[in-house]
Structures are given as structure tokens and as C-alpha cells.
Structure 1
Amino acid sequence: MSLARQLLRTKPTERIVAEGGHGVGGDLRRTMSLWQLTLFSVGATLGTGIFVILGQAVPKAGPAVVLAFVLAAITALFSALSYAELAGTIPVSGSSYSYAYATMGELVAWICGWCLMLEYAVSVAAVSVGWGEYLNAFLQSLFGWHLPDAITRSPGQDGGVVNLTAILIVLLATWLLLRGASESATANAVFVLIKIAVLLFFCLVAFTGFTAGNFTPFAPMGIAGVTAAASQVFFSYIGFDAASTAGEEAKNPARDLPRAIVLSLAIVTVIYVLVAVAAVGAMPWTEFDPEHTEASLSLIADLATGSTWAGLIVSFGAVIAIASVVLTVMYGQTRILFAMSRDGLVPRIFQRVNPRRQVPVANTLIVTAFIAVLAGLIPLGQLAEATSIGTLFAFAIVNAGVLILRYRRPDLPRSFRTPLFPATPVLGVIFCFLVMAGLAGVTWVAFGLWMLAGLICYFLYGYRHSRLNAEVPS
């Protein structure tokens, strides 16, 4: 078999599903219900985005930012429907990595998994750094405390030595993950319900100061402003695919994974639109400051009530929101590495399962160490923006995978079928590349360097240890 055919050799779907849940030393435990899976995706999606990005998007679109959130949701929906079909057809932990292995072959699967490693590790480190900043602001508002810069900033920043607050939230998430998937899902459910309650509280408070005149004119920047804002707020929808990484710990994955993905996107969209309407109704869009967005919701809550207690509750919600994102995204990364290790593409230690806890302990600890170093010692800066391009690339692969698998294996049992096929996945691919095209040049450079590093790692280790390639006669 030629090198090209080996690199593009697909793994049979039935084999991927049959291997699901099995690791070295034990199996993963199926404990997660539809409710828990849905909240996992909501937990990964509903994070810092709505607390920060709304303040950045309003000046671009004016009151039509509400329409921008709807447009971004429609864009995300194309990919969400494709994820739902493949998650129901291939219900394993590898998410888009496993879907690519079944449809486009090993090299594309590796590239997809490599993109997800970038997305998950750097995004967790970035939001962990943000958690320290929100925690500091919350403590200062509540008690007048201000944590020293030496433990809340990275080396190279003003007064920074090591960002201990960022490391702290990573360690807290690790402790929950090591207790088991069911315990992690329960903790996440509590976090998610708290932050949904806080955002609904914000809406109630903001609506007390609602002024209909704030929506006139509705689209002062025209269609161009709406589309520019939609491109920006699209990234606050990233995370709906988190449930697909729990395919081997779901009680009924073929039925529940598609439902969880679509349901989580619907929940998040309703919340985003409500918050956007309440925020613009309570404060004229011209007063939103794009340079100081971190506390925009807190400021609006304070203005609506004429006091600081409401803003304090919203700040608390931001702290909880980020904690939930750290937990769910770290979970997703460990499960994708688990699937890649089972295929031989990364070292065997990543698929070792603790027989008592039934979780990949060594995998989780290695991921924790890597993320803690990133979060505590490295100012991430624009590197964090590279997570967006990796995510969009993975989304495009999933949309293309639906097209390929429908063509090659029309006989496969599918618990969910993407509606309006083939238009939906085709539009999903197009929209992903349109949003990618609008990203900054430095982001493309970072992405290219990361891909180069990934190809080197694959040919030095993954290709040599691939279990699928080991079966190919030389």
C-alpha cells in the first residue's frame, strides 16, 4: 500500500464504535444522562463570551447586536446539526477526531485532533487567567481585598511572578475530574444552573430600567455592522460540541448526544438574545465602551438598580461561568487524547483507566500539568486567538464528514439525520471558511506553525505507532 493510501486510510465506523469505552486497565463508566450531557455543552459554551464580548459587539452593530446573535446562532447551527448526526452515528469520546478517522483517514484525523489540542489547552489556560482577574474584582467589590499582582499576573506583566489564581482553578477542575465523570457532571450542572440564574437575574434587573427608545435607530451601522458583530459573537457559541466528547460515558449515546448538542445551542441562543435585549434596553448603545468590556453587564446592573449589589451578583456569575468552562473543556481534552491513544497516535499512557474511579487518571494529570504551566507562567496574548481558527477547521471537517459518510455508507444506522441534506453541511463548510478568512494574519501564522509542529510529531511518533497502519502489509 502506498504512503498516500496509508495516510488517508479510514477506520471502519463499526470498529470505532466497538472499541468505545475500553482503555488500558479498565473501561469508562456510562453514567451521564441527557440532562447532564446538555449541561456539559452549555457549560463549555456559556462562559466569558457573554460577559465580555457583548460590550465589544454593541458598538459595531448598535441595537441590531440582537440580530447579530441570531445570525451567529444560525451559522453555528449548520455545524451543530452535522455534529449531531455524526455523534449519533459514531458515539465515542473522540468527537471530530473520530469522525474524521471514519470519513477522511488517519492524517486528517490527526490534524483534527491536533487542532483540538490547541483549542482546548490554550483556551483553558486563557480563561483560567481571566478567572483570576474576575475573582480579584469580585473580592475587591465584596471585601475590599486586592490580591497581589505577583500571584495574579504572569511573568513579564506588571509585577507578575506566577499566576497562582489561574493554576488554582485548573487544580480545582482536576480534583473534580479525578473523582469521576458522574461527579464532574453533577458539579458542572450546579455551576451551569448558577450562571443561568445569574444571567436571568441580570435580565430581570435590566428590564426594570428598559427604555424602548434605546432601540431607535435599530441598525445604525447597517448590514455591514450586523455581519461584523455576528463574526465576533460567533466565538461565544463555540463549545456546543462538548457533549460529543462524552460519547463513551453517556447512558444512551446514540439517542442523547444529538439531542444534547442541538438543545444546548437552543438554550444558549435564547439566553444570549435575552441578555442582549435587556442590556441595550437598559443602557443606550452609544454608552458601551469597547475598551472596557469586562464589567459591562455589572455596570448595567448597577445603573438599573442605583446600587452595587446587583453588579456584585453578576460578577459572581462570571467567576462561576469561567470555572464551568475550565471543567468541561479539560474533560473534553482528556477524552480526545484517550481516543487518540487507543489508536496508537499518542502514547499508551493516555488511555490508562483507573479501575476504581474509572477515569483516565494519568491522562488527566499530564493535561493538568501542561495547562497549569501555560496558565501560570506564559502571557498568552494573541496565541489564544489561534484557538478560534483551530475550532473552525474542526467544524469544517465535521460538516464535510457528514457528506462523505452519507455517500460512502448510506446503510449505517443514524439516530439523527441532518435536515435539508446536502445543503446544511455544505453551508456549514462555507460559513466556517468565511469566518476563518476574516481572522487576522498573525492568527493564520500561529495556526500554520502549530500545524507544522503537528505534522512533525505525527511522522516521528503517530505514523510509526499507528495501530491501523500496523495492520497494513508492507
Structure 2
Amino acid sequence: MWRVKSLDAILATAQKKSLHRSLGPIQLTLLGVGAIIGTGIFVLTAAASQKAGPGMMFSFIIAGAVCAVAALCYSELAAMAPVSGSAYTYTYAVMGELLAWMVGWALILEYAVAASAVSVGWSGYVLGLIENALHFDWPDLLQAGPTWSMNGFMPSPDFSAGIINVPAIIVALAVTALLMIGTTESARVNAILVAIKVAALTAFVVLTLPLIKSGNFSPFAPNGWFGPEGSSGMGIVGAAASIFFAYVGFDAVSTAAEETKNPQRNVPIGLIGSLAICTVFYLLVAAGAVGAIGAQPVLGPDGAAVQPGSPGFTAACAMAQNASQLVCSNEALAHVLREINFPAVGNALGIAAMLALPSVILMMIYGQTRIFFVMARDGLLPESFAKVHPKWKTPYIVTAFTGIAVAIAGALFPVGQLADISNSGTLFAFFMVSLAVMILRVKEPGRHRPFRTPLVWIIAPISAAGCAFLFWNLPHDAKMVLPIWGGIGLVIYLLYGYRKSHLGRGRVEVHEQDADLPPPPATT
């Protein structure tokens, strides 16, 4: 289970079975911006405010800094091994099959749960648009799932706020159907969607920054850096662990390495360029939201700090005096614009989110199926599971399975909890990439590196420590999902993958079924 698939073998496989290389640096950067700007900034601004208050400005900086050093580590590996599979492939080449399996399994958790979170975020904006622009009152019980708390080792639902999130189900299944029948976005459509999102955020910044009131930034850190005692995942650092979700789309760039022209140069440009653009936007948007209407947390019925999405938080937001608070909004940015007397622009921003967020869902579900595919072509998952439809030329079985799972999670969980769960898988994968860079520098120091992580013995340890630090500051429930999910994956690997591995059986070729697959949906 510690067998390593050499980089030479991976590169040989990629060259033999590679998809058409058509992406340049600008398209790749747009792909990264398109994958990054989504629910994180449109929705999680409210959850971050509940955890950190105006101090979420520092949370964006902390999360962005960890993501930047992780991006530098990603860039070196992506340039050396321009193949599909992201962190899974890199780990396979450096640390062996077992850890590669665990990383791939964590990436499945990341992509699927992230798609669910974006579905819930889309639901919030669409419902706000329906109620404010069309003046139709959507039934409360059908616009949100239950709130969850841990009762011992068992999750306990509270259905007082809602039973099921119907719009989240609709968008998840609609995107899944598009992916199954092979309808793909073109690069031009993706560029238009990115332009819509950027234009919406630009309008938000232009309208809110002139209205900033310095008093809205005080108290700056109502929950401190690490939250009140006994409240895991709160404070500025806890908000940074959640806000990390707003940045993680950049690793979708590395999964498109097989479709990239001159990946040794263009993948690092796409990774770091998209991250830099999004960081600037995030800080400006956060400053505008806090400065225009304030972003102080609401307190539970007992006067204590409460987690966003918890029963106590729901009860606090149900109070009349908290109805207009930023932290209680499911459509944070549109809510801010309505509060400062720009309702038409707020509705327009809601329309922008409604149009643009499904492309993020599509990218996440596609990314998850691509990870499934790469693991299946290595023999670690059943090849029949990744069967390609004879007419649609898409992996319809795994796509349908993924879409149903995404819809169920989106129907039953709030966006903040889904984002934290997704982060647990993401941070684990980034941690492994950080280790892989250092190990490969020692094992194969003479290998050609088109892009070298600068100051690698400083940057890579900071990246690994930063990922571990943010993981430790996630809410307890989110942290527990990863070992449970990992335990399930380990059982599957020991029962199936260990015996069926192509590398273990002396086969390093991939099967032929994915040779004529279309390129990733957002990049064709």
C-alpha cells in the first residue's frame, strides 16, 4: 500500500491518453476566477460576520495567505506533472498509494460538499429575489433544511426553521442533468459568467465604499481571535477557517493541466493570478459590507456567542430586532444594497448570483467526477463505476450518483456547515501537497522543475502548518467528519482498491474509456 507510481509513468500515461490542449494563461486565469468567486464571497460573508464581526477583514487576509503559500506548492507540482487528478496524483507520485487514496477520498468530499454549499447559496439569492422583486412569499418550511446539533455522537435535527431546501435540490439536479447529457459550457460562456460576477462585485464595491462609517468597525473583534471559551470555530481565526472555502476553487486550475498549452508556464500563472485577483475583490467587498451597515454578531437567547446555522443562531435571527442584521441574511451582498437604499441594484446582484453560481456547481461536480475517473483508471475504484455513456460520452453513472448526493446534502444542511465540512477535506489535501513538494525535493532533486516554489523550505512548511492550523480551528462537528469519512474510505481501499490496483498488479496503463471524453465543462 506504500507503492509509488513514478512521475515518469504518470507523465507517460498522460501523454498517451491526454485530452486536447487548448487553454492559455488568460483562459486558465478566468477558469480559476470563475471557480473561486462563488458562494464564498456572495454568502459566507454573513457566516464570517457572525463568527468574527468586522474582524473578518483579518480572516480574509489569513485565509488568503494560507491559500497563497499552498498555491505556490501546487504550482511546482502542477508544472512538473501536468495531469488530471490534482493532489491525488501528486501524492501517488511521492508518498504512495494509501495516502494517495486518502487524499483522493478527501477531494471527493471537498468537491461534492462544496457543490452542495453553492447550491444552498444559490437558493438564498433566488429566494431573496423572488420575495423582494416578485413579492411572492415562498413557504418557510421549503426554503431551508433543519438546523443540526450534536446529541452525544449522533446529529440531532431541529425542524423549526425549515424541513427541506427545495431550490437547492432543483439547481443541483438541473446541473447534474446537463453534465450527464454532455451539455458543456464554452470558454466564451465561462468568460461571460465570470464577467457577470466581477461586474456585480464591482458595483457592490462602488456603491458601498463611499458610505463606510468608521463606527461600524467597532468593536472590531467582538469574539476575539479564537472565540469565547468552549465555542470551537468562532473568532477571527475560526472565521478564517470557514472563509478558506471562498478561495479553494483555485485547485480546479490544476485539474485542467491536461487541457493546458505549455502547462509548465501557464498553470502557475493561472493559479497565482486568479488567487491575487480574487483576494483584492474579497477585501474590498468585506470592507464595503462592514462599513455600510455593520457586521456585529447576534447573541443566543442566553446571551452567549452562537455558531451560524445552529438552533441558537436561528432563534436569535427570528427576533424582530435582528431581522435586518447582515449576519442573519441568506443573500448577504444583496441584503446590504437593499439596506442602503439600492433595492434595484440589490435585485440585479441577486440575478447575477442566480446566473453565475450554477457554473460553480457544474465545475465542482465535474471536478469530483474527474477525481473518480482518475482513481478508477488506476484501478482503485471499479472501472464499471466510471462507465461512459455510449451516446452522451459522459460518465453518467458516477455523475448521477454525485448529483443525487449533492442534492440531498443541499436540501438538509445550512451553507455554513457544508462549507466547513468541505474545508476539512480541502485542508487535508493541501497539507499533503505541501509535504509532497518537500519530499520530492529530497527524493528527486535533479528533476526538471519548470516552476520552483520560492524559498521552498520556508513556504512549504508554512503552508502545511497553516492548513493544520485552520483545520484545528474549524467547528468540532466539521473536524469530526474527515476522520469518519476517511475511515469509510480506508475500509473500501482495503477491501477493493488494495487488491485491484493497476500498479499493484503490474499495470501502469489506463483503460481506454476516457480517451474521448470532452474537456472540462468550463474550459472547452
TM-score by length of 2: 0.79
CA contact (8 A) 1:351 1:363 kept: yes
Choose the corresponding residue for 1:416, options 426, 431, 451: 451
* Distance in 1 of aligned mates of 2:293 and 2:121: 25
Q: Which amino acid aligns with 1:16?
A: I
The change in CA–CA distance for 1:389 and 1:286 in structure 2 (over 3 A counts) is closer
Q: CA RMSD in A?
A: 3.1
- Unaligned runs of 5+ residues in structure 2 are 147-156, 227-234, 299-324, 508-524
3-state SS of paired residue (1:422)? helix
The change in CA–CA distance for 1:412 and 1:68 in structure 2 (over 3 A counts) is same
* Distance in 2 of aligned mates of 1:70 and 1:267: 13
Choose the corresponding residue for 2:358, options 323, 327, 331: 323
The change in CA–CA distance for 1:76 and 1:202 in structure 2 (over 3 A counts) is same
Deviation of the 1:269 alpha carbon: 0.1
For residues 411-442 of structure 1, the C-alpha deviation after alignment (integer angstroms, 9 at most, x for no partner) is 22222111111110011111111111122332
3-state SS of paired residue (1:470)? coil
Aligned to 2:422: 387
Deviation of the 1:226 alpha carbon: 4.5
Deviation of the 1:356 alpha carbon: 8.2
Q: Which amino acid aligns with 2:434?
A: N
Aligned to 1:471: 506
Aligned to 2:23: 32
Residues 397-408 of structure 1: pairs in structure 2 closer than 5 A: 397-408=432-443
Residues 222-233 of structure 1: pairs in structure 2 closer than 5 A: 226-233=236-243
Deviation of the 1:270 alpha carbon: 0.5
Residues 355-374 of structure 1: pairs in structure 2 closer than 5 A: 360-374=395-409
Aligned to 2:87: 96
- Point out the more displaced range, 27-36 or 455-464: 27-36
CA contact (8 A) 1:13 1:90 kept: yes
Q: Which amino acid aligns with 1:259?
A: I
Matched, 1:189 2:191: yes
Aligned to 1:173: 175
Deviation of the 1:79 alpha carbon: 0.7
3-state SS of paired residue (1:468)? coil
- Point out the more displaced range, 438-447 or 108-117: 438-447
Choose the corresponding residue for 1:298, options 334, 339, 344: 334
Q: Which amino acid aligns with 1:244?
A: S
Matched, 1:127 2:118: yes
Residues 56-455 of structure 1: pairs in structure 2 closer than 5 A: 56-58=47-49, 61=52, 63-148=54-139, 152=143, 157=159, 164-174=166-176, 176-177=178-179, 183-212=185-214, 214-215=216-217, 226-286=236-296, 289=325, 291-304=327-340, 306-349=341-384, 360-375=395-410, 378-379=412-413, 382=417, 385-455=420-490
- Unaligned runs of 5+ residues in structure 1 are 1-6
CA contact (8 A) 2:241 2:420 kept: no
* Distance in 1 of aligned mates of 2:426 and 2:440: 21
CA contact (8 A) 1:53 1:233 kept: yes
CA contact (8 A) 1:214 1:281 kept: yes
- Point out the more displaced range, 313-322 or 101-110: 313-322
For residues 435-458 of structure 1, the C-alpha deviation after alignment (integer angstroms, 9 at most, x for no partner) is 111223323332222111101111
Identity, % of aligned pairs?
41
- Provide the aligned length of Structure 1 versus Structure 2: 461
* Distance in 2 of aligned mates of 1:220 and 1:69: 17
The change in CA–CA distance for 1:361 and 1:256 in structure 2 (over 3 A counts) is farther
* Distance in 2 of aligned mates of 1:274 and 1:293: 19
Aligned to 1:10: 4
* Distance in 1 of aligned mates of 2:487 and 2:236: 35
For residues 3-26 of structure 1, the C-alpha deviation after alignment (integer angstroms, 9 at most, x for no partner) is xxxx11110101112212766xxx
The change in CA–CA distance for 1:223 and 1:152 in structure 2 (over 3 A counts) is closer
* Distance in 2 of aligned mates of 1:228 and 1:171: 32
Higher-helix-fraction structure: 1
* Distance in 1 of aligned mates of 2:188 and 2:389: 20
